[in-house]
């Protein structure tokens, strides 16, 4: 069984960075402008812009294709990893882009990169801290001599615990928080526990998923925008609606003289008669309860009058008051 290793060079994220620096960097764009400048000057002098316009369009189309390939095949974290034995393939593009000197990755560099991404900044703000405060407090807890391969293995397990397929800033920060030491003291200052951090990370993962935006001509976006054109009359007929309704097609007579829905008149009359009888019984019960209340009230008032008219009642009241 081949041993595990950590190398960022043979990864999709590193290839994406290399292609971006080669074709889409500001320096590359400046080179394109300088290369096209003589053609535009000549076209301005001659008045013929067809050739230079064709060359410019061809160049920008090529750049668009390269950019699309980088975004969908190299930067996209849902693509399968190239090698499962290389833990560097599990690191996301957002983290790799912020790493410095990618040939020699250390834990301080990982801490700096993870806390500087969009997801890392969101997590720290949920803890009530900024990146500068976090680094000042926790940078002393890591060293350049720490085993990076062992730590990345722990980060992979943290990513699985959080339901992530790749090691992003959330998994890296979670692995750092599990180390204890200065990270535990930092959490105590934030007045949160490790379970609270896990809850925050799950909330951040949900926030990340709902914050993702699809490009303009994405198939899902086109279906949501244009998929109901011409068929709006069937929008109410859904599978969920069918589950809570009753199919009456079995009660319909499709052939013969009496076509239509069978109406069970006898059963309806019986149901109506039972309802009337129940309502009459309830009315009798209500009348009986009202008459009983009136009788009890009248008996109670007469009893109180007789008790007050008794000769010994005043003396008993006086005795009670003396006591």
| pLDDT tens digit sequence for 60-98 | 999 999 999 998 888 887 788 888 889 889 999 999 999
Task: Map tokens 């990345």 to a residue.
Answer: 152
- What residue ranges of the chain have pLDDT lower than 70? 1-2, 214-216, 218, 220-221, 224-225, 227-265, 267, 281-323
Give CA torsion, residues 165, 170, 175, 181, to 10 deg. 180
Q: What CA–CA distance (Å, rounded) separates 167 from 205?
A: 12
d(CA 212, CA 217): 15
Reported as a single tens digit per residue, the pLDDT across 177-217 is 999 889 999 999 999 999 999 999 988 888 888 877 766 67
Angle made by CA atoms 142, 200, 188, in degrees to the nearest 5? 50
Residue 30 has a pLDDT of 94
> What's the pLDDT at 7?
87
Which among 212, 294, 279, 185 has a CA at the least distance from the CA of 220? Answer: 212
- The pLDDT value given to residue 172: 94
The candidate with the shortest Cα–Cα distance to 133, out of 142, 119, 146, 121, is 121
Q: Roughly what angle, to the nearest 10 degrees, separates helices 26-46 and 50-69?
A: 160
DSSP 88: G
Torsion on CA atoms 110, 113, 119, 121, rounded to nearest 10: 110
């Amino acid at each position: 069984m081949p041993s595990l290793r950590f190398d960022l060079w043979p990864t999709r994220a590193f290839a994406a960075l290399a292609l971006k620096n080669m074709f889409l960097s500001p320096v590359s764009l400046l080179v394109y402008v300088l290369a096209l400048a003589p053609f535009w000057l000549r076209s301005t002098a001659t008045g013929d812009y067809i050739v230079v316009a064709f060359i410019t369009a061809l160049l920008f189309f090529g750049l668009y294709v390269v950019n699309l390939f980088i975004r969908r095949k190299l930067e996209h974290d849902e693509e399968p990893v190239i090698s499962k034995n290389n833990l560097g393939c599990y690191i996301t593009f957002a983290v790799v882009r912020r790493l410095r000197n990618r040939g020699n990755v250390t834990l301080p560099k990982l801490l700096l990169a993870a806390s500087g991404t969009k997801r890392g900044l969101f997590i720290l703000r949920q803890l009530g801290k900024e990146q500068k405060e976090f680094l000042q407090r926790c940078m002393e807890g890591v060293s350049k001599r720490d085993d990076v391969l062992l730590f990345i293995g722990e980060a992979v397990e943290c990513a699985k615990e959080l339901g992530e397929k790749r090691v992003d800033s959330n998994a890296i920060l979670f692995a750092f928080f599990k180390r204890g030491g200065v990270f535990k003291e930092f959490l105590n200052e934030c007045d949160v526990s490790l379970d609270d951090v896990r809850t925050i990370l799950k909330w951040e993962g949900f926030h990340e998923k709902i914050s993702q935006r699809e490009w303009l001509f994405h198939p899902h976006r086109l279906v949501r925008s244009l998929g109901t054109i011409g068929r709006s009359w069937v929008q109410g007929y859904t599978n969920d609606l069918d589950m809570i309704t009753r199919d009456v097609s079995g009660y319909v007579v499709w052939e013969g003289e009496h076509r239509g829905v069978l109406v069970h008149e006898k059963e309806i009359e019986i149901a109506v008669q039972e309802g009337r009888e129940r309502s009459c019984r309830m009315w009798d019960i209500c009348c009986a309860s009202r008459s009983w209340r009136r009788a009890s009230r009248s008996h109670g008032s007469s009893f109180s009058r007789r008790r007050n008219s008794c000769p010994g009642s005043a003396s008993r009241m006086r005795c009670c008051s003396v006591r």
